[in-house]
Each structure stands twice: as structure tokens, then as C-alpha cells.
Structure 1
Amino acid sequence: MTAVQCVTCGQQGEAITDPIFMGKLEAEIKAKVCKNCWKKWESMRVMVINEYQVNLGEESGRELVKKQMRAFLKLGEPVDTSKLDQNYRPPQ
């Protein structure tokens, strides 16, 4: 088992070995995030997509999910997640 010092949980954890299909970000994620925290993000990603009603077919939707991912994994600047906390529904 390869270990990584995770920036998300702050502990030593198992490294991600499976492909995660994140393009340029993949190397950074694999070097800084443990497998456990990545699995937590995968569950959170579904919630982000549903709560924000993200259209992944649009670049803006993909960027929103990427920003949320970087914030969740502590790889970038924090973003406003209050919409997730309040079960936000966008105006229709």
C-alpha cells in the first residue's frame, strides 16, 4: 500500500491508485488526497450536482463542480457551500 499525507483530512492514508479521469488535476489530487477522502468527495459530488442542478454539458457547470471539488478537498480557495447546507433550490 502506498501512503500519502492527505491535505483534506490531515492524516496519512492510502493513495489513490485507480484512474480518476481528472485531466491535469489528476496528478495533484493523487499526490495530496487519500483514497478515503476521494470516496467522500465522490458522494458529495452527486449532492453538488443535484443541489445546484448542474448541467455537466455546459462548461460553467463543469467549472462549478471543479471549484466545489477543490474546496472540499482543500486544494484551492474555499467557496460558498451554504446552498448545500440549506438544501438550496435555484429559482425556476
Structure 2
Amino acid sequence: MADVSCSRCGQTREGFERPPFPGAVGTRILGEICKECWGQWLKQQTMLINHYGLNVMDPQARTFLTRNMDAFLFKKGDAEDVDTTKQGTINW
């Protein structure tokens, strides 16, 4: 595995052998995100799924998670902090 200069944490750390996510986003993660930051995203994703009661088979839930993943990993947009007033719903 090659090291990657992570665009999220700014450090050079262990990267991936293959993209951890499909498509163009996965390719971007492969080149720009370290395993440690990806692990942090997986914890954040689990928290979002559990807090909002998301069904990952629902296209709206997947869009919500993908948007949050972009914000979390690539610092674009606003990363979703858990808003307890929205528990059980992903309506913005």
C-alpha cells in the first residue's frame, strides 16, 4: 500500500490498495484520503445512520450520507453534526 498525502488531515499516512467506495468519489478517496480519516468517516456514518434511523436502501438516505461524506472527507459544504431536534428524520 502506498502512502497518501491526506487532504483531510494534512498528513502523509497509509492509503488504500483499491477504492473503498465506488465510482469517481472512490477514485478521489484513493488518491486523497488516508485510512485513518476513512475510519473516522465510517464512525461518523454509523452515528448518522443510527441517530436518524436511516434505511441505507432508501435513495434519499444514501444521498444524505454521500453529501455528508463529501463534506467530512473533502471539507466542502457543511458536515452534518447530529442535530437532536431532527432525530428519526432526514428532512432538512
Give the TM-score category using the shorter length. 0.7 to 0.9
Provide closer, same or farther for how the CA distance between residues 79 and 21 of structure 1 changes in structure 2, counting only shifts above 3 A: closer
Residue 63 (structure 2) pairs with residue 63 (structure 1)? yes
Distance (Å, rounded) in 2 between the aligned partners of 1:32 and 1:53: 30
Using the TM superposition, name which of 13-22 and 32-41 deviates more. Answer: 13-22
SS at match of 2:74: coil
Name the counterpart of 1:26: 26
Q: Which amino acid aligns with 1:12?
A: T
Provide closer, same or farther for how the CA distance between residues 39 and 19 of structure 1 changes in structure 2, counting only shifts above 3 A: same
For normalisation by structure 1, the TM-score amounts to 0.80
Provide closer, same or farther for how the CA distance between residues 31 and 16 of structure 1 changes in structure 2, counting only shifts above 3 A: same
Name the counterpart of 1:17: 17
Name the counterpart of 1:90: 88
For normalisation by structure 2, the TM-score amounts to 0.80
What are the superposed Cα offsets for residues 37-82 of structure 1, whole Å, 9 maximum, x if unpaired? 1111111111011112212111110000011111111253224425
Percent sequence identity over aligned pairs: 29
Name the counterpart of 2:49: 49
Aligned length: 89
Distance (Å, rounded) in 2 between the aligned partners of 1:64 and 1:48: 10
Residue 14 (structure 2) pairs with residue 3 (structure 1)? no
The unaligned stretches of length 5 or more in structure 2 are none
Provide closer, same or farther for how the CA distance between residues 7 and 82 of structure 1 changes in structure 2, counting only shifts above 3 A: same
Show structure 1 runs of 4+ deviating over 6 A: none
The unaligned stretches of length 5 or more in structure 1 are none
